Structure 1
């Protein structure tokens, strides 16, 4: 598929190629027993184990230099899939432990690595980790607010959606909003439709990470459509983790038909044995998506991107059909 692609939901650590993490572990003499299957892929059976393996893999990412190398490896994967713009979730908890000074060094390393790859534009969404609690979220929000600008353009929240409520983190989201950052949060992946409602009501986000369980609440679906709240949908991730049993059960097409603005992303692609090209191929196979739909979804992503207007216009121009 030659249509340029835009990805809005990608965790930088979760996109790390397994070989990259194994190589770092060997360099540092770190034992990552239990992290990989015999074939070298990441090893997990459910969401809680996925989080543990994810965080274990992150233990070899201990400095700005490693995150610069990681950024290069991740973006090179994206370029291979025809991605021309990506927004990556970047967590100060993994990059300096929430200290603003240390975070700046990590951020600069990632920004410099991204700048060396002109084929793709990257922006960072600083992300707090929900199961680390509201106090650590405030430190992440402070890092975001202090470095808001051309590269850091958004603030969001990932982690275990079953811990606490969206509103517990309202202070951090308010801090980020005051700094001019755009807002998104994970909801409706595991927390049900009500978690999406909480996110919209209590955090006033303009995008929702996943959000697919909104399908269980007709009034909420109508609200999302009416208010043009964009869903960052990751179908392959949802199926791999068992949110939905198979692709046929996934609600992305029903949501789109109901007028909800949906985009397509990979979340943590090596964990789920996917890439953005595969996602679109499977959407075509299961839901009949053809070029017009793929282009429409990527235009939605360009319009919803947390970037400056000049970058947005460039993306939209790249998505125009060839005359």
Structure 2
């Protein structure tokens, strides 16, 4: 049923989309020792958010050249195209590239080559959202914004902040978001995942954003839900990720449908798919089986995502035609 539906994904971290087999292949190129990263079944080893971040950083460190990042982007975008995706955005992190010694321009060029090759091969359209890593501190987030603005690329169309939302306050990132917004980049911020609705409120009060990464815990504050509806804020929901990280015991009790029926603009994404046993098709399937959403509901979610996508209007209209075909 959901396999053939055209799909749209707004919330996926490109390094977090690195499948274990690709990580092992790229690590072999550079002689990187991955002892302890995988379990006996070949899956990433982690048990909580902190250990997840640690595994994520180790796996990310194997990607060191533009060619590596081209392969990463091509692998991800062709994989989601095979599951019916017609458009995808990925969060990119200059900090992870710099940790491997790769300048931002080379990092983006490599990723862009993979995105363009995937579009040529499968018709999938992709864009990038530059992000600062929250737990690295305000100065690094500001540097990420400044770099994205100083070294623009046509496929980098957004800016955001990701990482551990338990650290620092959105007010610390006001200047970073100001310069990114003034440069014409779409703005989003992770909030309301590990922390409660107060995290979403703080992001909305301090940052001129149109989207919230996750934001699922807004459901705990009725007034905030009303505000999201009134202000037209779009939530980038990731149910599989939320369950994997222990926010909810199972997909049946995830508040996706409740938020949608409350009038909140909701979208669905896979976040860091190989870590959470997810994919964009799996997320659509889970909404169908565990939340009772049918084809029209899922297509509406795709339209919402395209409406909120950080893409030019001409491309958006072409994608809407494909979605409704």
**Residues of 2 paired with 1:24 and 1:98: CA distance?**
13
Q: What SS does the aligned partner of 1:271 have?
A: helix
Q: CA deviation at 1:206?
A: 0.5
What's the counterpart of residue 226 of structure 1? 230
**Residues of 1 paired with 2:64 and 2:187: CA distance?**
27
1:246 to 245, 250, 261: 250
Given that 1:207 and 1:229 are in contact with CA atoms closer than 8 Å, whether structure 2 keeps it comes out as yes
1:171 to 172, 175, 181: 175
What's the counterpart of residue 310 of structure 1? 314
Given that 1:208 and 1:230 are in contact with CA atoms closer than 8 Å, whether structure 2 keeps it comes out as yes
| Residue 107 (1) aligns with residue 111 (2) | no
Q: How does 1:163-202 map to 2 (within 5 A)?
A: 163-202=167-206
What's the counterpart of residue 9 of structure 2? 7
Which protein is richer in helix relative to its size? 2
Where do 5+ consecutive residues of structure 1 fail to align?
none
Normalising to structure 1: TM-score of the pair?
Answer: 0.96
2:166 to 146, 162, 171: 162
Given that 2:64 and 2:100 are in contact with CA atoms closer than 8 Å, whether structure 1 keeps it comes out as no
What's the counterpart of residue 151 of structure 2? 147
The CA deviation string for residues 208-254 of structure 1, in whole angstroms up to 9 with x for no partner, is 00000000110000000111100000000000110111112211110
Given that 1:9 and 1:87 are in contact with CA atoms closer than 8 Å, whether structure 2 keeps it comes out as yes
The CA deviation string for residues 173-217 of structure 1, in whole angstroms up to 9 with x for no partner, is 111011111100100001110000011110121000000000011
What's the counterpart of residue 95 of structure 2? 93
**Residues of 1 paired with 2:217 and 2:151: CA distance?**
33
**Residues of 1 paired with 2:95 and 2:184: CA distance?**
21
Q: How does 1:1-323 map to 2 (within 5 A)?
A: 1=2, 2-96=4-98, 102-118=103-119, 119-320=123-324, 322=325
Given that 1:98 and 1:139 are in contact with CA atoms closer than 8 Å, whether structure 2 keeps it comes out as no
Bigger shift: residues 226-235 or 169-178: 169-178
> What root-mean-square deviation, in Å, do the aligned CA atoms of Structure 1 and Structure 2 show?
1.4
Where do 5+ consecutive residues of structure 2 fail to align?
none
Q: CA deviation at 1:149?
A: 4.8
Q: What SS does the aligned partner of 2:103 have?
A: helix
Q: What SS does the aligned partner of 1:60 have?
A: coil
**Residues of 1 paired with 2:150 and 2:312: CA distance?**
18
Q: CA deviation at 1:95?
A: 2.0
Q: CA deviation at 1:63?
A: 2.1
Normalising to structure 2: TM-score of the pair?
Answer: 0.96
Q: How many pairs does the alignment contain?
A: 320
Q: CA deviation at 1:96?
A: 2.8
**Residues of 1 paired with 2:231 and 2:166: CA distance?**
26
The CA deviation string for residues 279-304 of structure 1, in whole angstroms up to 9 with x for no partner, is 11111111111111000000000100
Given that 2:160 and 2:187 are in contact with CA atoms closer than 8 Å, whether structure 1 keeps it comes out as yes
